[in-house]
């Protein structure tokens, strides 16, 4: 069981690292979106500081959603997905591996780079640290929920836009508590409550996400 | 490329009677007989409800005449939520029992549900303007209703973009179920989000006491909406059945007899 998980993570990571531009594109997209906001809103730091958490989180949602199409598309195109489907190993475990690999190359780098962008928005001290933590807990949820959308739309024309439509409404709780944690920390309430709820979503999504994605894959590749 | 699936045949009509109508062929006729009743009922109820709402119900001493929009707004908001649950329920039935008709019902419910959600949002905005002085506030209920509309749209878009009917049904069902798990989470998240941000400057909870006439008018309108929804959904299901079963013998027979 564990070896399947390790094998699929290693495989997906190797594939991702051979196409480093894909990984970089997501990151650069994230940076660009975050950098565009001050141009639209105005450069005053007093204005930007309360926006920081929301802007960074929305940009993170969009960036991680951009890369969701890759989750199953290549495997579907070259027939690997069918082999995975008929393999004796539990499909949801394989999907869990793919979710983890997806997070390692999209969500995690994004979370790690976020504090630098936070400084641009004049976030300092504890809120900045909370931003990092909330993204580290929250972005795996995005990968897990997003996998369902990716599995439902695999092989469809115009799948990319469709994923956004399916998945973004489901991201609502994550952004509320992710951005809320930073805000709570900045206003002195303390981020523990928000972060705990975010962690609860993570656990729930790690159970429901792979199961639903596996069911969706079986439906999509019949 | 997957294990052979046992395709459930419609149960023989003698075994358990209420399974009889789970076959599109029998349900098609039943729906055809029911539609006129529900359609007429809904017209009568709408007329009665609107009469009570606009002529009999007293003017609200705080909000004046503008409160009368609740006779449309509140039933629409209730319907939007009930119909999503109904949709998810049918979706679950479709996945668990591999029942074709349930999937068709789920597909038929979605546009009506989306319509009621839209009506609830629209009338809410129109009501908000005279009462709160603004068309839109990021109140918990408004926001979750808006997200509900997104969920409906996602469901419709997914089913519309899959050509294979069977795959569309089942993919939509998975999405509806995941959405249904998420609906309470979204609802409470949004509620906490709003209360954490700022104290609600405007409260949607109205004065608890309501004149009996107002309540009667509202109930009439709720039933009118249900009858309307049932009539429209059944009509849509019949259209879907016609489209899906166009190659079948029973339909050809019906058409020959001239009773499409």
Q: What pLDDT is recorded for position B200?
A: 42
The arithmetic mean of pLDDT across residues A151-167, rounded, is: 86
- Which region among A22-26, B37-41, B82-86, B103-107 has the lowest average model confidence (pLDDT)? A22-26
Q: What is the 3-state secondary structure (H, E, C) of B160-194?
A: HHCCCHHHHHHHHHHHHHHHHHHHHHHHHHHHHHH
CA distance A194 to B241: 48
Is residue B203 over pLDDT 80?
no
Please provide the average confidence, as pLDDT, over all residues in chain B: 83
CA distance A175 to A82: 34
Q: Would you place residue B214 in the very low, low, confident or very high pLDDT band (cuts 50, 70, 90)?
A: confident
Q: What is the token pair recorded at B41? A: 């009922």
The arithmetic mean of pLDDT across residues B233-253, rounded, is: 88
Q: Would you place residue A117 in the very low, low, confident or very high pLDDT band (cuts 50, 70, 90)?
A: very high
The arithmetic mean of pLDDT across residues B241-246, rounded, is: 87
The arithmetic mean of pLDDT across residues B141-160, rounded, is: 90
Closest CA of chain B from A45, distance in Å: 21
User: Using the 8-state DSSP alphabet, how is residue A78 labeled?
Assistant: T
Q: What pLDDT is recorded for position B258?
A: 73
Is residue B27 over pLDDT 80?
yes
Closest CA of chain A from B124, distance in Å: 21
Is residue A181 over pLDDT 60?
yes
CB distance A110 to A27 below 8 Å: yes
Q: What pLDDT is recorded for position B17?
A: 64
CB-defined contacts A:B, below 8 A: 80
Is residue A34 over pLDDT 60?
yes
Q: What pLDDT is recorded for position B260?
A: 62
Check B174 against A170: CB less than 8 A apart: no
Q: What pLDDT is recorded for position B202?
A: 45
Is residue B217 over pLDDT 90?
no
CA distance B99 to B21: 11
CA distance B52 to B241: 38
Q: Return the higher-pLDDT residue of A15 and B15.
A: A15
Q: What is the token pair recorded at B90? A: 């049918």
Is residue B41 over pLDDT 50?
yes
Mutate to test the interface with A, among B144, B189, B198 (most CBs of A within 10 A): B189
Q: Would you place residue B201 in the very low, low, confident or very high pLDDT band (cuts 50, 70, 90)?
A: very low
Give SS3 for B202.
coil
Q: Among A148, A158, A220, whose Cβ lies nearest the Cβ of B178? A: A148
Query: Which pTM does this prediction carry?
Result: 0.86
Is residue A95 over pLDDT 80?
yes
Of chain A, the percentage scoring pLDDT greater than 90 comes to: 54
Is residue B204 over pLDDT 60?
no
Q: What pLDDT is recorded for position B22?
A: 78
Q: Which residues, in sequence order, are CB contacts of B165 under 8 Å at separation 6+?
A: B244
Check B171 against A216: CB less than 8 A apart: yes
Nearest chain B residue (CA) to A149: B175
Q: What is the token pair recorded at B85? A: 């649950």
Nearest chain B residue (CA) to A219: B167
Structure-token match 């109508």, residue found: B21
The arithmetic mean of pLDDT across residues A182-198, rounded, is: 88
Is residue B181 over pLDDT 60?
yes
Give SS3 for B21.
helix
Closest CA of chain A from B73, distance in Å: 23
Q: Would you place residue A114 in the very low, low, confident or very high pLDDT band (cuts 50, 70, 90)?
A: very high
pLDDT tens digit sequence for B107-136:
999 999 999 999 999 998 888 888 778 888
Q: Would you place residue B61 in the very low, low, confident or very high pLDDT band (cuts 50, 70, 90)?
A: low
Q: What pLDDT is recorded for position A4?
A: 87
The most confident of A121-130, A174-183, B223-232, by mean pLDDT: B223-232
Residues of chain A neighbouring B193 (CB-CB closer than 8 A): 176, 180
The arithmetic mean of pLDDT across residues B149-172, rounded, is: 92
Mutate to test the interface with B, among A157, A169, A209 (most CBs of B within 10 A): A169
Q: What pLDDT is recorded for position B18?
A: 65
Q: Among A153, A172, A208, whose Cβ lies nearest the Cβ of B181? A: A208
CA distance B9 to B146: 40
Please provide the average confidence, as pLDDT, over all residues in chain A: 90
Residues of chain B neighbouring A158 (CB-CB closer than 8 A): 161
Of chain B, the percentage scoring pLDDT greater than 70 comes to: 84
Q: Among A158, A172, A180, whose Cβ lies nearest the Cβ of B161? A: A158
Q: What pLDDT is recorded for position B232?
A: 96
Q: Would you place residue B256 in the very low, low, confident or very high pLDDT band (cuts 50, 70, 90)?
A: confident
Of chain B, the percentage scoring pLDDT greater than 90 comes to: 37
Q: What pLDDT is recorded for position B104?
A: 93
Closest CA of chain B from A8, distance in Å: 21
Residues of chain B neighbouring A156 (CB-CB closer than 8 A): 161-162
Check A85 against B1: CB less than 8 A apart: yes
Check B158 against A168: CB less than 8 A apart: no
């Amino acid at each position: 069981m564990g070896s399947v998980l390790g094998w699929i993570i290693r495989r997906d990571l190797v594939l991702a690292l051979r196409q480093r531009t894909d990984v970089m594109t997501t990151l650069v997209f994230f940076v660009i979106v975050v950098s565009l906001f001050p141009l639209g809103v105005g450069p005053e730091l007093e204005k930007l500081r309360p926006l920081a958490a929301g802007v960074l989180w929305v940009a993170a949602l969009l960036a991680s959603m951009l890369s969701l199409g890759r989750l199953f598309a290549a495997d579907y195109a070259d027939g690997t997905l069918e082999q995975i489907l008929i393999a004796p190993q539990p499909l949801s475990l394989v999907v869990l591996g793919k979710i983890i690999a997806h997070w390692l190359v999209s969500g995690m780098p994004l979370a790690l780079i976020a504090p630098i962008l936070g400084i641009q928005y004049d976030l300092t001290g504890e809120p900045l640290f909370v931003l990092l933590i909330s993204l580290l807990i929250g972005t795996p949820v995005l990968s897990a929920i997003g996998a369902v959308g990716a599995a439902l739309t695999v092989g469809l024309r115009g799948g990319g836009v469709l994923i956004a439509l399916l998945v973004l409404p489901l991201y609502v709780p994550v952004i509320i508590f992710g951005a809320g944690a930073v805000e709570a920390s900045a206003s002195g309430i303390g981020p523990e409550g928000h972060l705990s709820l975010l962690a609860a979503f993570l656990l729930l999504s790690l159970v429901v996400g792979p199961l639903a994605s596996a069911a969706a894959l079986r439906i999509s590749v019949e | 490329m997957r294990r052979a699936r046992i395709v459930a045949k419609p149960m023989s009509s003698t075994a358990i009677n209420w399974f009889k109508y789970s076959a599109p062929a029998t349900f098609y006729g039943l729906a055809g007989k029911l539609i006129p009743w529900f359609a007429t009922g809904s017209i009568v109820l709408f007329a009665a409800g609107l009469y009570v709402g606009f002529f009999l119900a007293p003017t609200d001493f705080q909000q004046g005449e503008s409160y009368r929009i609740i006779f449309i707004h509140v039933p629409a908001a209730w319907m939007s939520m009930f119909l999503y649950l109904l949709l998810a329920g049918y979706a679950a039935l479709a996945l668990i029992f591999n029942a074709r008709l349930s999937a068709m019902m789920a597909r038929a419910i979605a546009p009506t549900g989306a319509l009621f959600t839209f009506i609830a949002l629209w009338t809410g905005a129109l009501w908000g303007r005279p009462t709160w002085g603004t068309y839109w506030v990021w109140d918990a209920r408004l926001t979750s209703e808006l997200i509900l509309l997104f969920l409906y749209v996602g469901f419709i878009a997914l089913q519309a973009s899959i050509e294979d009917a069977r795959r569309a049904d089942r993919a939509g069902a998975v999405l509806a179920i995941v959405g249904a798990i998420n609906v309470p989470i979204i609802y409470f998240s949004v509620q906490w989000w709003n209360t954490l941000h700022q104290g609600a400057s405007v409260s949607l909870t109205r004065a608890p006491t309501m004149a009996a006439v107002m309540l009667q008018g509202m109930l009439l309108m709720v039933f009118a909406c249900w009858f309307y929804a049932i009539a429209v959904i059944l009509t849509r299901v019949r259209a879907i059945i016609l489209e899906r079963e166009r190659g079948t013998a029973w339909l050809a027979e019906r058409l020959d007899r001239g009773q499409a």
